[in-house]
Amino acid sequence: MTLEQAKENLMTLQAKMSAYDHAMGLISYDGMTTAPKGTAANRGRTLAVLSEEQYKLSTGEQTVKLLEFLDSQKQELTEKEQRMVFLLLKEIRQMQKIPMEEYVAYQELLNEADDVWQNAKRNNDFASFEPLLEKIFETNRRFAGYCAPDKDPYDYWLNEYEDGLDRQTCDRFFDALRQRLVPLIKKVAEKPQVSDACLWGQAPENQQQALSLRLMQIMGLDPAHVGFSTTEHPFTTSLGSHFDERVTTHYQPDNFSSSMFSVIHENGHALYDTGSSDDLAYTVLDGGVSMGIHESQSRFYENLLGRSRAFTGFLFPQLQELFPYLKQFSAEDFYKAVNRVQPSLIRTEADEVTYCLHVMIRYELEKRVMAGELSVHDLPGEWKRLYQEYLGVDVPDDRQGVLQDSHWSGGSIGYFPAYALGSAYGVQFLQKMRESVDVDGCLAAGNFAPINDWNREHIWQYGSLYKPAEIMQKVLGEGLNPDAYLSYLENKCKEIYGV
Amino acid sequence: MTLEQAKENLMTLQAKMSAYDHAMGLISYDGMTTAPKGTAANRGRTLAVLSEEQYKLSTGEQTVKLLEFLDSQKQELTEKEQRMVFLLLKEIRQMQKIPMEEYVAYQELLNEADDVWQNAKRNNDFASFEPLLEKIFETNRRFAGYCAPDKDPYDYWLNEYEDGLDRQTCDRFFDALRQRLVPLIKKVAEKPQVSDACLWGQAPENQQQALSLRLMQIMGLDPAHVGFSTTEHPFTTSLGSHFDERVTTHYQPDNFSSSMFSVIHENGHALYDTGSSDDLAYTVLDGGVSMGIHESQSRFYENLLGRSRAFTGFLFPQLQELFPYLKQFSAEDFYKAVNRVQPSLIRTEADEVTYCLHVMIRYELEKRVMAGELSVHDLPGEWKRLYQEYLGVDVPDDRQGVLQDSHWSGGSIGYFPAYALGSAYGVQFLQKMRESVDVDGCLAAGNFAPINDWNREHIWQYGSLYKPAEIMQKVLGEGLNPDAYLSYLENKCKEIYGV
């Protein structure tokens, strides 16, 4: 095999992997959006076959030989090729440590778990989901043991979602947040509450759909390559490459802002994914590098831009056209309402200030279950206890408690901290962006192009070419620093509540 | 390999094939329903990879050895296993004759053609579709040459869609229809036309969607396993097995009957597919045996039941609830309107009497293009000429002419005659069914269970276990006989027009 042939085979291999990702991703997406409710077992059979084929492709002798050959010729490879080989070898060496039957069984388990979780949430029935969640945690512990026997299993998964992350970093980060956020929330609670009355009113689904499409257009997504659907739990996914991106949302008939900010959030993910340089398509470098950087983009658009005075002021007249009841309110009412601080039950609808406490609760619970200090059976009770302790709210049922998120049923143990990290990264990026972009001027005019251009130039185009820490260093010259984030939140509270 | 192992491997092989069918079927379905418009090329890449894998699986040495071994032990196999081995070997021997690159290129061509055809139809632009259609016809000729070098290429494809069919049978069948239908249509034209005013009125999409779901329920489809979507050209497909069936439709804002009869037609396909015995799932015997028998079921429900006095009488009060403008009309008005005979442009909306002339035109054109007697370039003109000659209508544009159907862009050359054959089979089945089922009584009560039970017992449960001709013999004791069909149409005209 010559080096040129090997380089070509490297691209063919990744194209095949992308095809399997496309097929399996679409089957899951279909299950969460369009498929009839009784078809999960049928999807499970197909996913089992495809994941077995994918496993064989990834860990097959030919693949390993190819990658080891290319790795031995590292100095002859481009920067991109080097990173492809590194990421592929890393993944393969992990996969090789997981027996194929167990890998396939896990895919089937996740397929079943999604279905069971959806029903459990609908029926407020944690007991039906418990045995599957127990298996998911157990499998995550077992797989971590296979892949990194010397590492703590939860540290292993934290690092998987965010290269470089471990419990120590998380503990330090969350401690810093807690120290300044808890007193801040207390001070806010002592002030008169702002009204969110303008968020509640008749919002017909077709008008909300029109708003979703409007937001896609304003934010600069290309409808030829980005689709919209509805689902129980909103998510964003690429199918095959960043040339086919899907955003989903969930409409509430009496509160348009719920879907609106969810759409802006998911659109942030979609902008990052579709912003990959086109020559990264059909390679492992296509799309975002880590969950932390991904969430830094989604929460950047959702909160730092979406809840800003400039953007809400720009959008409000259009909202009044779509939802006529808003004509009795002002843009300032709307700005205050979407920045109201109020401890609550649902993470995805939490305000910016209390949001990280929701994440912390999940982090703490995951950490303890993974360490064997807490049983899955006791999760609902502990969930309720911590919501009372940290947020002072009573969780009336598991539907609004432990069953609210899709992450655990999807097998994503160790993902949650990325939401908090991403929120902090985003503020650091915004500070840097302001040095060269008139962000507020752009938002007030509904002109996202200069903002997107900056993100594309500094972050999106690279896909997974650089590690999260490398991107931070390249863009900011520093790593994670919660100070900027905390100052941002304190300023927001000062503006809204005068504290 | 022991016989028991081989039998087990036979099931595993078919399960794998079903998984690839599921993935590729879903990717196509997604393209026709949900996917963003600019993503055809992305799907094409994935389909190319998957069809290559599917090809390798089907024609690989292991597969061929397995099937030949089982074939050599035929007497030890069950009837079902014998038929599986026969059908798989037949398909493989054909596939082996087609070079893999050409097979893969054809899948890519079809994926592109669907996209180009959709745009061509939208923009009334045959020229943009012409080069692709030329390639599709050329590939069908070439593949027929590989698979059956001694056979006429069009005969080859007719036989593929309906085991046993050739041009001679088609010519004879269509001649019989022509002899009695042309004078019948003339006689009808001399009578005063019945009004179809009741079909035209405001029909909001959400009300039409409610009607679709109502029809699914009335016809006895299980919503846990049968899904609904909208698309340009309605179709029905199974994904992976008959446990996941998808029906699509297309709504016209001012005519609910267009989608209504299309839905009843597609539901007929879905009943046939989902009526396969459950132990046929994940094998090649799952689902219908041929296009002719499939259309006999779809057109059975659409016309013989759907346009009957008994069923229209049952449904009309419900239609009045859904579409209040109907309150000024009677059930008899509706019955006459949906049985109005009127030469027209669009096959899928043609009445029962003129319908077969639409099919004949496509048959004649395909036959001539396949024989090299007509160029693809001249298709739109010939289409217009034949519509004038046979139906006496002017085709104003290609959108309502040669671009109306999805069959050619989907590569289905030789499929159309099945619609006419199926219509005739259906009447033969109905005559037989009436010997033991009070069909009109059931329809008047909206009770499809006895009808479905009869079809399940005699036709559906067998999937592809028996050839079309075998099913006819088993159920009827005779083969195709256009007389029953022609008498049925003549009686209908007598009732509606008194001719």
**Unique residue bearing structure tokens 């036989």:** B159
Flag whether pLDDT at B111 surpasses 90: no
Say what percent of chain B tops pLDDT 70: 100
Q: Report the pLDDT value the prediction gives residue B1, as an integer from 0 to 100.
A: 85
Q: What is the DSSP letter of A74?
A: G
d(CA B279, CA A264): 47
Chain center to CA of B229: 17
Flag whether pLDDT at B412 surpasses 90: yes
d(CA A69, CA B102): 32
Token code pair at residue B393: 């209508």
Helix (H) or strand (E) holding B109: helix B100-123
Q: Report the pLDDT value the prediction gives residue A287, as an integer from 0 to 100.
A: 95
Residues in Cβ contact with B10 at an 8 Å cutoff, skipping those fewer than 6 apart: B66, B67, B70, B81, B84, B85
A244: which chain B residues are within 8 Å (Cβ-Cβ)? 35-36, 39, 42-43
Token code pair at residue A268: 């942030």
CB of B174 within 8 A of CB of B227? no
Q: Please identify which of the residues A160, A245, A266, A295 carries the catalytic annotation.
A: A266
The CA distance from A86 to the nearest CA of chain B, in Å, is: 24
Instruction: Name the interface residues of B facing A (CB cutoff 8 Å).
Output: 15-16, 18-20, 22-24, 26-27, 30, 33-39, 41-43, 45-46, 48-50, 53, 222-227, 229, 239-241, 243-245, 282
pTM of the model: 0.91
One-character DSSP codes across B53-75 = HHHHHHHSHHHHHHHHHHHHTGG
Flag whether pLDDT at B158 surpasses 90: yes
d(CA A160, CA A164): 8
Q: Report the pLDDT value the prediction gives residue A19, as an integer from 0 to 100.
A: 98
One-character DSSP codes across A416-471 = THHHHHHHHHHHHHHHHHHTTS-HHHHHHTT--HHHHHHHHHHTGGGTTSS-HHHH
Flag whether pLDDT at B84 surpasses 90: yes
Say what percent of chain B tops pLDDT 90: 93
Active site residue B266: yes
Token code pair at residue A12: 């063919």
Q: What is the DSSP letter of A407?
A: T
Q: What is the DSSP letter of A305?
A: I
The CA distance from A241 to the nearest CA of chain B, in Å, is: 7
Flag whether pLDDT at B232 surpasses 90: no
Q: Helices B379-386 and B126-147: crossing angle, nearest 10°?
A: 90
Q: What confidence tier does B104 reach under pLDDT thresholds 50, 70, 90?
A: confident
B20: which chain A residues are within 8 Å (Cβ-Cβ)? 49
Q: Please identify which of the residues B266, B295, B302, B366 carries the catalytic annotation.
A: B266
Q: What is the DSSP letter of A239?
A: E
A50: which chain B residues are within 8 Å (Cβ-Cβ)? 19, 23
Q: What confidence tier does B361 reach under pLDDT thresholds 50, 70, 90?
A: very high
Q: What confidence tier does B349 reach under pLDDT thresholds 50, 70, 90?
A: confident
Q: Do B16 and A49 touch (CB under 8 A)?
A: yes
Q: Could you tell me whether strands B226-230 and A241-249 are parallel, antiparallel, or unpaired per DSSP bridges?
A: unpaired
The residue ranges of chain A whose pLDDT is under 70 are none
Flag whether pLDDT at B281 surpasses 90: yes
CB of B150 within 8 A of CB of B455? no
Q: What is the DSSP letter of B412?
A: -
Flag whether pLDDT at B362 surpasses 90: yes
Token code pair at residue B76: 């030890």
Token code pair at residue B216: 């699914």
Q: Report the pLDDT value the prediction gives residue B208, as an integer from 0 to 100.
A: 98
**Cα separation of the two ends of chain B:** 68
B38: which chain A residues are within 8 Å (Cβ-Cβ)? 222, 224-225, 243
Question: Of A45, A222, A229, which is closest to B15 when you measure between CB atoms?
Answer: A45
3-state secondary structure of A392: coil
Q: Report the pLDDT value the prediction gives residue A426, as an integer from 0 to 100.
A: 97
**Which of B305, B294, B342 lies closest to B185 in space, CA to CA?**
B342
Q: What is the DSSP letter of B373?
A: S
Q: Do A23 and B27 touch (CB under 8 A)?
A: yes
d(CA B246, CA A362): 38
Question: Of B34, B38, B240, which is closest to A46 when you measure between CB atoms?
Answer: B240
d(CA A130, CA A178): 30
Q: Do A46 and B23 touch (CB under 8 A)?
A: yes
* pLDDT, averaged across chain B: 96
**Unique residue bearing structure tokens 């195709």:** B480
Q: Report the pLDDT value the prediction gives residue B396, as an integer from 0 to 100.
A: 97
Q: Do A38 and B224 touch (CB under 8 A)?
A: yes
The CA distance from B277 to the nearest CA of chain A, in Å, is: 15
- Residue B491's CB is within 10 A of a number of other CB atoms, namely 10
- What is the number of CB-based contacts under 8 A between chain A and chain B? 123
Q: Report the pLDDT value the prediction gives residue A433, as an integer from 0 to 100.
A: 98
A226: which chain B residues are within 8 Å (Cβ-Cβ)? 36
Q: Report the pLDDT value the prediction gives residue A96, as an integer from 0 to 100.
A: 87
Q: How much is the average pLDDT of B22-44?
A: 95
Q: Helices A167-190 and A153-161: crossing angle, nearest 10°?
A: 70
**Cα separation of the two ends of chain A:** 68
3-state secondary structure of B495: helix
Q: How much is the average pLDDT of B453-473?
A: 97
Q: How much is the average pLDDT of B292-298?
A: 96
- Residue B177's CB is within 10 A of a number of other CB atoms, namely 21
Mutation site, B20, B39, B222, interface A, largest A CB count within 10 A: B39
Q: What confidence tier does B471 reach under pLDDT thresholds 50, 70, 90?
A: very high
The CA distance from B25 to the nearest CA of chain A, in Å, is: 10
One-character DSSP codes across A469-481 = HHHHHHHHSS---
Residue B449's identity, in one-letter code, is A
CB of A240 within 8 A of CB of B48? no
pLDDT in tens, A228-266: 999 988 999 999 999 999 999 999 999 999 999 999 999
Question: Of B36, B48, B282, which is closest to A226 when you measure between CB atoms?
Answer: B36
A229: which chain B residues are within 8 Å (Cβ-Cβ)? 34
The CA distance from B95 to the nearest CA of chain A, in Å, is: 21
Strand partners, A238: A245
3-state secondary structure of B259: helix
Q: Report the pLDDT value the prediction gives residue A365, as an integer from 0 to 100.
A: 97
Q: Report the pLDDT value the prediction gives residue A316, as an integer from 0 to 100.
A: 98
ipTM: 0.90
Question: Of A26, A36, A49, which is closest to B26 when you measure between CB atoms?
Answer: A26
